[in-house]
Amino acid sequence: MADSTKKKITVLMVGNPNVGKSALFNRMTGANAMVSNYPGTTVDFTSGTLIEGRQEYEIIDVPGTYSLEPRDAAEEVAVRMIRDHPDAVVMIVFDATKIDRGLYIALEVMEQGMLCIVAVNMMDTAHDKKISVDTADLQKVLGVPVVATTATSGEGIRELAEQIRKAQVADLDKIIKRLNGEIPDKKSVGGCGGCGGC
Amino acid sequence: MQKKLLELEFGERGVVREIRTSVHDLNCMGIRVDRELKMVTKQPIKGPVVVLLGEMQIAIGLDLAAQIIVDVIGKDA
Amino acid sequence: MVLSTDSRWEVVDRIARRTVAYGTYKRTLGDVLGELTVKPLTGIPVAVAALFAFWSIFCSFAGALVTDGFMVKLFDSHWLPWLQSVWPDPASWHYFVFVGDPLADNCFEAFGVLTSGLFVSIGVVLPAILIFYLMMTVLEDSGYLPRLAVLVDSVLHRIGLHGYAIVPMILGLGCNVPAVTATRILETRKQRFIMMTLLAIFIPCGAQLGVMLEVIPDMIGLVFLCLIGGFCLFGYILNKVIPGENPEILVDVPPYHWPIRENVVKKMWNRTKSFLKEAVPFVLFGVLLVNLLYLGGVIQALAAFFEPLFVTWFGVPKETVGPLIAGFLRKDLAIAQLSVIPMTAYQMFASVVLISIYFPCVATFVIMLREGWKELCAALAVLFVVVFVYGGLIHAIGILLGVA
């Protein structure tokens, strides 16, 4: 990514249905959002532009899906979009109250060797439900940037936008080793996942 | 005591022991072996059941609910 | 590295155990309401009330307030007389095409591109669509829709669908185009096909509803009854005839939350925008085409050709052939046209039902074509059978009751 100041980077927003993905999308992109039809299907998706620093991103709101083994037409499109954009950054959106579901698709995406960043959305609802998510620890385990957001109030959106450039390819081997305590948590200063992107 | 998920009574809680159908879709919704469920409501004329899983409610079709075996562990008021 | 499903879930559990902590949670009023609205004993009355409220707001706002209170006055007493006075040469072909009947005193009867065309699209249909999408978006964003889906699941399961089919159904009451797109939330081809076919045949769109409210306000209940009856009857038959699976409902029932104003506005705007882009040109073009066909004598010829079928089988006057052709472009337009044909109440009723069921409008047609031409052809085959059988059935019932 030597010419990253010029080339537009595609960001795919992937996540379960109803995790506030669209609200997050609306927050991040301006008024220039465009609804288009995915070629060869009837499934529509929304795309928009985000300019952060000197980098222009094309953000694509991928139809919600529970896994990369699709159940219906919309999920098939999600799978195809990921396959068709191997160089894209994948922003995986979690519902803070349903972390396990988000983690499942996150792992599936990570297995594809894509650049990943995680947004743990709906933090306000989680707070109301007395669920707390340790995003710093999540970042440490996954080895990709993890940002807590609340799309409805706009909390965490700036940070999320800034972190896109630090997206990492996750290493499943290392994730498992970290879980087993085989790799000591290194470079955990300042909630950094030791990604080396900074 | 083991019974089918659809046989749980209102407010009864059970732990999933076995899923006798394709597990993928159910798993993706968070319904997995060892998970605790609570019956919220059953719809009349063979309608779906609604169960509470953690803090979320999930509606499950009747035939699907018949394939899920749970251990009854208690009952809430 | 690729994990197996089981080990993936294991990793998920281990990560979740490590990073997520649950406190003691106290149920809120929202949770209690959430449960009450999904339990059948309390939920069904609430659902009926919600749908009734939906309908009455739709009628009073779109029908009474905007259309009757404002648009009719604007168009009939200002726009039409002005246009009639400034357009040259009332006997010419272009007067007929663009302004229509020089003696007309309202915009339904004039039937020119710039009179009826504009009035139907802007004056009648736009307010209906606007209020419809506003309410739909609120239903969606508040989290009520999944509860409604659970409540209607047992009924829809009988016709091969499941509760979530309520989404394309309600959307279809706005416009069939997004509704056909929304059928993708159904899992199997069989379900999608049944839903699409029933949508195209039995669900009248918001534009049609708006015009029906204007033209036949006292018959609308009866028309609905016929459409719902047909929906269930043919849905049941299709489910029995078409091979394939009907997966069951498996959905989240999310907690209620207040819709966020910006999101509602944005969604509504997007939906209305695409409606304006697709519908208004079609209405104007439709009026133009029908008028040109009249001038060329094509409609009269078709009317003569189809007369036996229409008069003896369906029991409606032959003049309805014209509106039926217009109906391919826009059904709202066709119903507006029907209103000026002299007919008995029964004939009016029968032809409105016929127009509703007989053919999807061209925009729906195109979107269904995108879903696959095989499905479209099959849907059309079903449609012809349904129109023929159901049209005849209504006529037969009419004869038995002595009104036809």
B47: containing domain: 2-75
Q: Residue B62: what pLDDT?
A: 84
SS in 3 state form for C139-163?
Answer: HHHHCCHHHHHHHHHHHHHHCCCCH
pLDDT band at A1 (very low <50, low <70, confident <90, very high): very low
* CA–CA separation, A117 and A93 (whole Å): 9
Q: Residue A38: what pLDDT?
A: 61
What CATH number does residue B63 fall under?
2.30.30.90
pLDDT at A4 over 70: no
pLDDT band at A192 (very low <50, low <70, confident <90, very high): low
What is residue C27's DSSP assignment? P
Span B37-51, average pLDDT: 84
Q: Residue C102: what pLDDT?
A: 80
Q: Residue A64: what pLDDT?
A: 84
Alpha helices in C183-253 (DSSP H): 189-202, 206-215, 220-241
Query: Cβ contacts (< 8 Å) between B25 and chain A: which residues?
Result: 66, 71
Name the residue among A139, A132, A145, A146 with its Cα closest to residue A178. Answer: A139
* DSSP states along B11-73: TEEEEEEEE-S-HHHHHHTT--TT-EEEEEEE-TTT--EEEEETTEEEEE-HHHHTTEEEEEE
CA angle C282, C283, C287 (to 5 degrees): 115
Q: Which residues contact C345 (CB under 8 A, 6 or more apart)?
A: C219, C403
CB contact, 8 Å: B33 with chain C?
A: no
Tens of pLDDT, residue by residue over A7-48, are 889 999 999 888 888 888 888 887 666 766 666 555 667 888
Q: Residue A32: what pLDDT?
A: 65
CB C203 within 8 A of CB C179: yes
Count of H-run helices and E-run strands, chain A? 7, 9
Q: Which residues contact C393 (CB under 8 A, 6 or more apart)?
A: none
pLDDT band at A91 (very low <50, low <70, confident <90, very high): very high
CB contact, 8 Å: C22 with chain A?
A: yes
pLDDT at A120 over 70: yes
Q: Residue A79: what pLDDT?
A: 87
CA angle C270, A33, C143 (to 5 degrees): 55
Q: Angle of helix C29-36 relative to helix C40-57, nearest 10 degrees?
A: 90
Q: Do B50 and C150 touch (CB under 8 A)?
A: yes
Q: Residue A144: what pLDDT?
A: 92
| pTM (global) more than 0.90 | no
Q: Residue A189: what pLDDT?
A: 45
* CA–CA separation, B34 and A98 (whole Å): 17
Query: Cβ contacts (< 8 Å) between C371 and chain A: which residues?
Result: 42
pLDDT band at A103 (very low <50, low <70, confident <90, very high): very high
Q: Which residues contact C297 (CB under 8 A, 6 or more apart)?
A: none
Name the residue among A67, A34, A63 with its Cα closest to residue A49. Answer: A34
Query: Cβ contacts (< 8 Å) between C184 and chain A: which residues?
Result: 42-43, 72-74
Q: Which of C26, C248, C256, C257 best probes binding to B when mutated, by most B CB atoms within 10 angstroms?
A: C248
Of all residues in chain A, the percent with pLDDT exceeding 90 is: 22
Rounded alpha-carbon distances, angstroms, from residue C65 to A134, C73, C135, C221, C343? 53, 12, 16, 20, 28
Q: Do C24 and A179 touch (CB under 8 A)?
A: no
Query: Count of alpha carbons within 13 Å of A85, Cβ hemisphere only?
Result: 23
Q: Residue A188: what pLDDT?
A: 46
**Positions in chain C whose pLDDT score sits under 50:** none
Q: Do A100 and B28 touch (CB under 8 A)?
A: no
Name the residue among C193, C192, C191, C216 with its Cα closest to residue C204. Answer: C216
Q: Name residue A37's beta-bridge partners.
A: A44
Q: Which of B21, B23, B41, B60 best probes binding to C when mutated, by most C CB atoms within 10 angstroms?
A: B41
- Token readout for C48 is 């009926």
The residue count for chain A: 198
Q: Which residues contact A58 (CB under 8 A, 6 or more apart)?
A: A8, A9, A10, A11, A47, A48, A49
CB C230 within 8 A of CB C202: yes
Question: In which residue are the tokens 């927050």 written?
Answer: A27
The count of domains in chain B is 1
User: What is the fold of A9-191?
Assistant: Rossmann fold (3.40.50)
